[in-house]
Structure formats: structure tokens, C-alpha cells
Structure 1
């Protein structure tokens, strides 16, 4: 992969809404060249999606409950963790799924409207999968930073320090 593609990827990852004219100036290419490179990166499935980070706590109507579930799995011969991971990520509640090192094998991130809905997902859908040996659920209480975006900037204390 050439350096221009990597440069474009780094810029678009930071700001997916960047104007193509601005992007072309930043990488010193024409807009048609940048457009062609973006289309190529999308076709190659290197750029998978353009996303927006939203602070849902400021939208009273639509606040969701997020949980991280650590899952211990018995991997199957010949397919390892891939088969059970595919079964898990197909559920619409699953927002992310990672193979992890450490005490647990998979980390599943899910969203629901209530804690009860998440509990039902764990007990009825996740735990009923043959390869799943155990789960540990962690509920997200507050989001400080996500995808490099800080949610509440702390104002700098501008008071003068007084010492006796």
C-alpha cells in the first residue's frame, strides 16, 4: 500500500466528513485522484464504514444500556474461535466482538434498552450456545472517551494558587 493511501486513511479515520477538496490539498493530489483512491479503498474493504460518535446521554429520549460481556469458550477443532464468534456477532444486539488474551476468550459489547433486556440476551441467547462455558457481564456506567473522542472536556482550574 502506498504512502498516499495510508495518509488518506489516517485523515479519514480522524474526520470522515472532511471535504474532498480539503483532503486532496492535504495529500497533494487532485480531487479525482482522491475520489478514485477512496472508492478503491472501499472496494477493497479497507474502508468499511464511516461513523459518527454521539453522546447519547444528551439525548434523553434514546439512552441505551451498554454491557461488556467476557465469554469463556471451548474452541472447536479446525475452526478455533471463529465459528462461535460468527454465531455471536450475528445477533443484532451485538455491537462489537473481540478475541482476547487472558482469562476470557471473547469480549462481546452489546446494547439494550434496559438491564433486563441485556440479562435476557445473556441467559437466553449467549449462554445457550454449546461452546460457551461461562460469562461475566460488566455494565457501562459512564463514557469518558470513545474512539479518541473525549465526552466531557474538563475545564482548566484558573484560580491562583495561594500558599500560607
Structure 2
């Protein structure tokens, strides 16, 4: 809550609210979202991390193909990487087949995509700094 944040940084809640508003307007804070434990919610949800090798385009490098991919509803994240592949995607769907069809029918045919390697997420232990699952206890907490 706003009050909790204010206490953590030793500021008045009004000051924190004003600073947050300024950061939102300056696009330093780009949004808020709920972190849902889909398994506990009983919702069919599958995630995959997809490695892409891509041919960079003259004058825009990887930006154009990354922007094309980022516009797909199934894609949560697009990251330019160093190492053995160029782009890393986090993709969501309702089933393994859902993601496999996305890769085969929509992703692979994009001009410049040379290869894909899909890794399905089997279990989430921690995401965006939040521990998942009842059995996950933060051992760093003060006793």
C-alpha cells in the first residue's frame, strides 16, 4: 500500500503519491499488474521461453522484427540477448499445443526468423521478485 511504501522510505504518504505520479508521467513507472498464481486459480495457463535466431535488417537491426513480434497478443516479453541467439520471448497460451501452433503458424514465417527453440515452463518458483507456492518461504526473513 501507499502507507507501507511511505513507511519504508520514511516519507509522508502524500509525498510518495506525488513522486509516483511524477514518475508515471515521466514514464519511469510504466504500469502496475497483478501477479497471478494460475495453478491456484485453476486456470489453464502455459508459458514458454522461446529463443530466436534472427537476421538483422539493414538500417534497423533487430528492432523491426522485435516490434512485429511484440505486437502478438501471446507475447509477454521480447528481449535482445547476447550469446547464442538474438531474441528471447516469453509467450503465454492455454496449452502446449496452443504455443506450438503460435510458433509454427505465426512466429516462424516472419521474414528474418532463422530458427526457434521453445522451452516450456514446468513450474514457477519466483517471478518478478515474488515467491510462488505455499512451500516457498523466504528464508531471508527476520525470525
TM superposition score normalised by structure 2: 0.87
Matching residue of 1:99: 80
User: Matches of residues 70-149 of structure 1 in structure 2 within 5 Å?
Assistant: 70-149=51-130
Separation in structure 2 between the aligned mates of residue 22 and residue 98 of structure 1, nearest angstrom? 32
CA gap of 1:80–1:23, structure 2 versus 1, over 3 A, is same
Separation in structure 1 between the aligned mates of residue 40 and residue 3 of structure 2, nearest angstrom? 33
Unaligned runs of 5+ in 2: 138-143
Separation in structure 2 between the aligned mates of residue 42 and residue 144 of structure 1, nearest angstrom? 30
Matching residue of 2:140: none
* SS of equivalent to 1:63: coil
Number of paired residues? 136
* SS of equivalent to 2:11: coil
Matching residue of 1:21: 3
CA RMSD of aligned residues (A): 1.6
User: Matches of residues 27-46 of structure 1 in structure 2 within 5 Å?
Assistant: 27-46=9-28
Shift in Å, 1:154: 4.9
Separation in structure 2 between the aligned mates of residue 63 and residue 91 of structure 1, nearest angstrom? 19
User: Where is the helix percentage greater, Structure 1 or Structure 2?
Assistant: 1
TM superposition score normalised by structure 1: 0.76
Shift in Å, 1:77: 1.4
Task: Tell me if structure 1 keeps the 8 A contact 2:37–2:132.
Answer: yes
Greater gyration radius: 1
Shift in Å, 1:30: 3.5
Task: Tell me if structure 1 keeps the 8 A contact 2:44–2:95.
Answer: no
Separation in structure 1 between the aligned mates of residue 126 and residue 49 of structure 2, nearest angstrom? 16
* SS of equivalent to 2:109: coil
